[in-house]
Amino acid sequence: MLIINGTAELMKDTENLNKGDRYEFNMFSSHMPLEDQLNQIEEYLVTRGWDNIEVVDNGIVGDPNDIEHDVLLTAYEKAKSEGFAVTINNQPLV
């Protein structure tokens, strides 16, 4: 499973996040390599209200038991069945 870390700008108002602020995200993709997924990743995030996406790092999660955070583990499991899943850090970058 591919894991992608980056930042993106929120382009619409939401209940918990501020439009125009930049947030960190973690994203899982069941498809690899990253270079083959960039268009699909962008489309996935843009349809959810994110733009100005910057991928900072990526890697491979070989064993889900290595994931210690419950939210990330839930996203990992969702990506297994749906292809993609994203988590957003709810604290904007300063």
pLDDT of 23 reads: 97
Give the domain ranges of the chain.
1-25+46-57+67-94
User: What's the pLDDT band for 27 if we cut at 50, 70, 90?
Assistant: very high
pTM: 0.88
Residues in the chain: 94
pLDDT of 34 reads: 87
CA atoms within 13 A on the CB side of 13: 1
pLDDT of 36 reads: 87
